[in-house]
Amino acid sequence: MRETVRFLLGDEPVEIASCDPTRTVLDWLRLDRHRTGTKEGCAEGDCGACTIVVGRLDGDRLRYEAINACIRFLPTLDGCHVLTVEHLKASDGALHPVQQAMVDCHGSQCGFCTPGFVMSLFALWLNERAPSVQRIEDALAGNLCRCTGYEPIIAAAQRMDAAEREQDRFVAAMPATIARLKSLADGETLSIGDGERHFYAPATVDALAELVSTHPQATLVAGATDVGLWVTKGMRRLDPVISLGRIDELRGISDEGDHLRFGAMANQIAVREALATISPQLDEMMRRFGGEQVRNAGTIGGNIANGSPIGDLPPALIALGATLVLRKGSERRELPLEAFFLDYRKQDRQPGEFVEAVLVPKLPAGALFHISKISKRFDEDISAVCGAFYLELDEAGRIREARLAYGGMAGIPKRAKAAEAALLGHSWNEATIATAIAALAQDFTPLTDMRASATYRLKVAGNLLRRFLIETTTPDTATRVAGLLAEAAHG
Ligand X SMILES: Cc1cc2nc3c(=O)[nH]c(=O)nc-3n(C[C@H](O)[C@H](O)[C@H](O)COP(=O)(O)OP(=O)(O)OC[C@H]3O[C@@H](n4cnc5c(N)ncnc54)[C@H](O)[C@@H]3O)c2cc1C
Give the closest residue to 294 by CA, choosing from 83, 79, 66: 66
Burial class (CB in 10 A: 0-12, 13-18, 19+), 299: buried
Q: What are phi and psi of 405, to 5 degrees?
A: -120, 140
Q: Quick check: 222 binds ligand X (CB under 6 A)?
A: yes
Of the ranges 46-54, 96-104, 178-186, 190-198, which one interacts with ligand FES (CB under 6 A)? 46-54
Q: Quick check: 221 binds ligand X (CB under 6 A)?
A: yes
**Beta-ladder partners of 241:** 199, 219
Q: β-strands 368-374, 353-361: how paired?
A: unpaired
* Residue 19 contact partner, candidates ligand FES, ligand X, none, CB within 5 to 8 A by sort of partner: none
Alpha carbon distance 441, 402 (integer Å): 18
- Minimal distance in Å, beta carbon 56 to ligand FES? 19
85-124 binders of ligand FES (CB under 6 A): 109-110, 112-114
Give the closest residue to 253 by CA, choosing from 202, 319, 194, 299: 299
**Cβ(69)–Cβ(52) below 8 Å:** yes
Q: Quick check: 305 binds ligand X (CB under 6 A)?
A: yes
**Cβ(467)–Cβ(460) below 8 Å:** no
Q: Quick check: 37 binds ligand FES (CB under 6 A)?
A: no
* Residue 312 contact partner, candidates ligand X, ligand FES, none, CB within 5 to 8 A by sort of partner: ligand X
* Residue 50 contact partner, candidates ligand X, ligand FES, none, CB within 5 to 8 A by sort of partner: ligand FES
The answer, yes or no, to whether the previous bond of 97 is cis (omega within 30 of 0) is: no
Give the closest residue to 226 by CA, choosing from 143, 284, 311, 324: 311
Q: Which of 6, 19, 26, 46 binds ligand X (CB under 6 A)?
A: 46
Binding letters toward ligand X, positions 117-156, x by CB under 6 A: ----------------------------------------
121-150 binders of ligand FES (CB under 6 A): 145-147, 149
285-304 binders of ligand X (CB under 6 A): 289-290, 294, 297-299, 301-303
The DSSP output letter for 65 is E
The length of the chain is: 491
Q: Quick check: 43 binds ligand FES (CB under 6 A)?
A: yes
307-326 binders of ligand X (CB under 6 A): 311-312
Of the ranges 41-49, 146-154, 172-180, 189-197, which one interacts with ligand X (CB under 6 A)? 41-49
365-424 binders of ligand X (CB under 6 A): 380, 382
- Minimal distance in Å, beta carbon 59 to ligand X? 21
The dihedral built from the CA positions of residue 74, 75, 76 and 81, taken in this order, carries a sign that is positive
The DSSP output letter for 203 is S
Give the closest residue to 462 by CA, choosing from 412, 406, 402, 393: 406
Q: Which of 29, 101, 224, 384 binds ligand X (CB under 6 A)?
A: 224
* Residue 42 contact partner, candidates ligand X, ligand FES, none, CB within 5 to 8 A by sort of partner: ligand FES
- Widest Cα–Cα separation across the chain: 74
Write out the residues near ligand FES by the rule CB under 6 A.
40-43, 45-50, 68, 70, 109-110, 112-114, 145-147, 149
